[in-house]
Structure 1
């Protein structure tokens, strides 16, 4: 690798999680890493580390090997691999624990360092781990930049949630395992299904889609499995169903949670046998399809309540890909807005309008109960309404402009019981992400002074 390929010192500013049950030792490590520009979050135990790994995003995790127990560091490593698979983990160990640390390298740790720390060696080790991650990200970022502007198979976004969705698509697409895509209405479940087909070995074969919502059992059976001539009044010729139509390709069944209960065992039989029997016939016909389904309902709860067959649920849920709602990935809103503005401006054969900062902030702060579908509709209206190729706050639809924040039950429920300090910490973390780490802009957006922001960063262990 040439010198020009290596990340610059500015680029090497990594998000580092420090896990150590000795606060003073953690502070020394954080101070050492702060000097070259790394942003450090300090926690003092396994439970706090779990919370950060669930809600934060880190490039490097440094953890003491022995804390509450002799395996605490290994448990942190496992959590990193589960929740932050792109991050590298460095273990800090006493001399007597070196064999355990070496074994951890085989389990996915980046490296280990012995106490007492040589801070120069420690800082260089973290720099190397950060460079490994950031180079990996740079390669992916080139694809992500295209994906952000033009979409990965039409999926727009660069948030951790969307990156996980894209990563899952890439992993499952080459296989034939059934995939269940879950998420609220308007999140783009059909795009995920199409991406799975397009990246699969069946991409040259047919991709058939069918929505089961609002279908009676008899009509649904006919549409899925087909019929032979004379099967019922008006059936004057044989007709194949979507399973046969998609033979060799992919079948996407949308709103599968709305399928009538009596129809579900028939679908299960087809999925297990790979054969369909047309209405009015006794002849089984082969139907080799990659099966992808989607729902905005909680099939697990429905199964427990007897509203959805448990055996069918387990059959279709070979892998589940959940698309987070837009309110949970607000950092994607600017990308989606700019993408939609470009798309609709091109349709209207006019220059792409710029979105003013106040207008964008209003859009970012809105709850988007209708998710991406609602956002695209709003941007379309704004592109039509704006003057001088610039979208201002006055062009934002009134229901969004006058909205005080998320008022849907889900959002309120997700905040209920959450401590104010946690909310404030997440607000600062997410705003830092939105501004690319610019503290002056972060302070302005949060409506606080820079000194207050610096104090909060220190208070919450955000270095």
Structure 2
């Protein structure tokens, strides 16, 4: 993300200054050559330079103190380079002052000026990024961060859902924050002072899930040494959040539908019917309509759930929110781990914004948390980020740049991305890919991953 620096050269030898300016242009920076201190001052006031080079040996020994004070107010990110003798310099707060060897070759001097310009540009970009984040920083909506129009619409739907008693179905890819939306709905509802309970339906067989939801009595099955209250009763009067409901066994779906329609449950091993008052919020990363067509999800339960829908966009569809999310997640990481990373450089932020984020906000959170611990008390730079993020290659989904690849190559790439996004967690990767864990294990062995 190289940016062009603007260099002002103050010298009595305009030919030499022009040669240095041309050398800098070849290195990606622009510049002007001036021989008058007054003209240099006017130029700085008109356009803040990134570097000012003063050849004080050529009759400008009095210029550095004057320019240092002017730059400190007008170009706080700039560097003042001096290649000759100079008197006492004023105390400055912002501008950097460095000395150059007046006897160095043109190429050496150009390299030094170009390096100073690159650093000044980086400082300017970092400062502008911090200013932008501070201007747009806001209190999160119960952990939900985003100013993108699509996120504002979601927050409005959360408010609407909270005012009703309707069942809510949240769609979104893994890691998009569906659980935060469920919590926000509960927190803004008239049930906020009542329990909020969470059950993840993925990976639980029918018997275990039935016991988790409805409870059981002593002796209902081997290991049931005492009565146990299920989550429906635990959430009585409040909200029950069923995450990954698309993975619920079909045989269990009928029992859930009955509980929702009759507002009553029967613990496993009991004949006692118990009334419950529970507001249900469900979430899934799967296409329930397609599952209904395939016979993997009950149509009647689908229509019972599909009353008030909230669709959460993947992070790649709202890249403008990434700087705010990074700021929010970094503050949380510092609080949780006792680190003091002050921020992220503009170059690192650029890499974060262009990454595809197959694991969405959860993946971003893991990257920021891990990197904050590594850097401890300094700014996060591009080189601190994982290789797959700081590399020049942008991750792309299937369908982007896949021309010429076989289906097997595309499948292998999708599995690689899912495993990377879940830090190697194969169960989570299987859910992200919409396949069974056994199928994923077989594919991993097949592709040698």
Q: Structure 2 length as normaliser, TM-score?
A: 0.57
Alpha-carbon distance in structure 2 between the residues aligned to 1:324 and 1:273: 34
SS in 1 for 2:283: strand
SS in 2 for 1:252: strand
Alpha-carbon distance in structure 1 between the residues aligned to 2:401 and 2:259: 39
Tell me which residue corresponds to 1:331: 320
- Tell me: CA distance 1:263–1:184, structure 2 relative to 1, closer, same or farther (3 Å): same
SS in 2 for 1:320: strand
Alpha-carbon distance in structure 1 between the residues aligned to 2:239 and 2:401: 36
- Tell me: CA distance 1:311–1:145, structure 2 relative to 1, closer, same or farther (3 Å): farther
Q: Is the 8 A contact 1:149 1:339 kept in 2?
A: no
Which digits, 9 at most, give the CA deviation of each residue in 1:228-283, with x for residues without a partner? 22222332322221101111000000110000011111100000000001112222
Alpha-carbon distance in structure 2 between the residues aligned to 1:292 and 1:389: 41
Match for residue 182 of structure 1 among 171, 175, 189: 171
Compare 216-225 and 381-390 and name the one that shifted more: 381-390
Tell me which residue corresponds to 2:333: 344
* Runs of 5+ unmatched residues, structure 2: 1-132, 404-449
Shift of 1:146: 11
Match for residue 151 of structure 1 among 140, 149, 153: 140
Alpha-carbon distance in structure 1 between the residues aligned to 2:171 and 2:337: 34
Residues 1:198 and 2:187 are matched in the alignment? yes
Alpha-carbon distance in structure 1 between the residues aligned to 2:222 and 2:377: 61
Higher CA-based Rg:
2
Tell me which residue corresponds to 2:366: 377
Q: Is the 8 A contact 2:218 2:224 kept in 1?
A: yes
Residues 1:290 and 2:279 are matched in the alignment? yes
Alpha-carbon distance in structure 2 between the residues aligned to 1:149 and 1:390: 22
After superposition, residues 35-54 of structure 1 pair within 5 angstroms as: none
Residues 1:259 and 2:248 are matched in the alignment? yes
Shift of 1:317: 1.6
Alpha-carbon distance in structure 1 between the residues aligned to 2:144 and 2:135: 11
Tell me which residue corresponds to 2:77: none
* Runs of 5+ unmatched residues, structure 1: 1-143, 417-463
- Tell me: CA distance 1:149–1:261, structure 2 relative to 1, closer, same or farther (3 Å): same
Which digits, 9 at most, give the CA deviation of each residue in 1:125-160, with x for residues without a partner? xxxxxxxxxxxxxxxxxxx99995441011111111
Residues 1:237 and 2:245 are matched in the alignment? no
Which digits, 9 at most, give the CA deviation of each residue in 1:47-86, with x for residues without a partner? xxxxxxxxxxxxxxxxxxxxxxxxxxxxxxxxxxxxxxxx
- Tell me: CA distance 1:257–1:403, structure 2 relative to 1, closer, same or farther (3 Å): farther
- Tell me: CA distance 1:289–1:366, structure 2 relative to 1, closer, same or farther (3 Å): same
SS in 2 for 1:331: helix
Alpha-carbon distance in structure 2 between the residues aligned to 1:253 and 1:298: 16
- Tell me: CA distance 1:373–1:309, structure 2 relative to 1, closer, same or farther (3 Å): same
Alpha-carbon distance in structure 1 between the residues aligned to 2:152 and 2:269: 47
Tell me which residue corresponds to 2:265: 276
Compare 228-237 and 259-268 and name the one that shifted more: 228-237
Shift of 1:379: 1.0
Shift of 1:176: 0.8
Match for residue 305 of structure 1 among 284, 294, 301: 294
Alpha-carbon distance in structure 1 between the residues aligned to 2:179 and 2:390: 29
- Tell me: CA distance 1:146–1:281, structure 2 relative to 1, closer, same or farther (3 Å): farther
Which digits, 9 at most, give the CA deviation of each residue in 1:309-366, with x for residues without a partner? 1110110121111110000000010001111112212334343422111111111000
Q: Is the 8 A contact 2:197 2:239 kept in 1?
A: yes
Q: Is the 8 A contact 2:341 2:376 kept in 1?
A: no
- Tell me: CA distance 1:349–1:387, structure 2 relative to 1, closer, same or farther (3 Å): closer
Tell me which residue corresponds to 2:385: 396
Q: How many residues align?
A: 271
Alpha-carbon distance in structure 1 between the residues aligned to 2:392 and 2:194: 46
Q: Is the 8 A contact 1:147 1:156 kept in 2?
A: no
SS in 2 for 1:355: coil
SS in 1 for 2:224: coil
Alpha-carbon distance in structure 2 between the residues aligned to 1:309 and 1:173: 26
Residues 1:217 and 2:198 are matched in the alignment? no
Compare 275-284 and 190-199 and name the one that shifted more: 275-284
Cα RMSD (Å) of the superposition? 2.3
